[in-house]
Amino acid sequence: MTSIHAACATSAEPAKDMRVDPAPCLAASLSQDHDRTISVCGALIDNAKTEKADRIKALIARATAYERKDMIDRAIADYDGALRLDSAQADVHNARGELLRKKGDLPKAVADFAAAIKLNPDHVAARANHRALALEAERQGALKAVAGKPSFDCATARRRVEKAICANPELADLDREVQGSYQRAVAEKMTPPQARKLRRAQEEYIAQRNREFGRAGYDLKKAMRDRLQKINGIDGY
């Protein structure tokens, strides 16, 4: 019996070192054979001996296959898995963000695009997605909770111009758009000197608005629209 057990143990030892070969998963993905990708990459993902790097690649490959089969929830789940193993993947954040956007989960999509940009400030697709989604959110009323509300607290408004903005939903929306575009411009793509220059310009705009409001010939709405256009020209929104 001892010799039998020893033989069994010896014969089982090589199996412990066996790993799923990652090559078939990669080949299936490259050939865009989505069903085979899901199958062979799934085997790689489920194998306990698979190395971390290979498991991440397999999760991304299977997520792509699921996405192309319009199995969005499963694709997102695989991107989730890849990011749990390594959160510093700008491409995966961007890809998951695109799927979340397709599902209508705009806040999470924005967060993914922002994460991708933070990891890779030169990520062209993530920047384009973030800008487009920010504009889309404004246009589609995704920010209904702040509709008709300015960027400042009306409860503490003391200046005449601030009270006028608070009393007019159109002006309040304009004020919020100006501030929102200004903040996005500074946060996303400006060097420190450019940010300082824009900050000074924003302070000058507010000071002039406060000073000129109520004087003959001063058009507050036009001034706000001009400022928004000026910032968007810099920012690209």
Instruction: Label residue 20 by pLDDT band (50, 70, 90).
Output: low
pTM value > 0.75: no
Instruction: Classify residue 12 by its DSSP letter.
Output: H
- pLDDT above 50 (res 230): yes
> Mean pLDDT: which of 23-27, 28-32, 88-92, 228-232 is highest?
88-92
Query: What residue ranges define each of the domains in the chain, with the CATH number in brackets?
Result: 12-139 (1.25.40.10), 146-235 (no CATH)
∠ CA 80-189-195, rounded to 5°: 135
* CA–CA gap between residue 181 and residue 62 (Å, rounded): 37
- pLDDT above 70 (res 193): yes
For the CA atoms of 183, 184, 188, 191, the dihedral, rounded to the nearest 10 degrees, stands at -40
Mean of all residue pLDDT scores within the chain? 85
**pLDDT tens, position by position, 218-229:** 999 999 999 999
* CA–CA gap between residue 92 and residue 195 (Å, rounded): 29
* CA–CA gap between residue 34 and residue 42 (Å, rounded): 12
Instruction: Label residue 81 by pLDDT band (50, 70, 90).
Output: very high
- pLDDT above 70 (res 45): yes
Distances 125 to 114, 180, 184 between C-alpha atoms, Å: 11, 21, 17
- pLDDT above 90 (res 6): no
Kindly tell me the sign of the dihedral angle through the C-alpha atoms of 227, 229, 230, 231. positive
Contact at 8 Å (CB) between 61 and 37? yes
Contact at 8 Å (CB) between 116 and 127? no
* CA–CA gap between residue 55 and residue 41 (Å, rounded): 8
Instruction: Label residue 142 by pLDDT band (50, 70, 90).
Output: low
Distances 200 to 87, 150, 193, 228 between C-alpha atoms, Å: 36, 21, 11, 15
**Structure tokens given for 49:** 């001996």
Mean pLDDT confidence for 128-140: 78
- pLDDT above 60 (res 163): yes
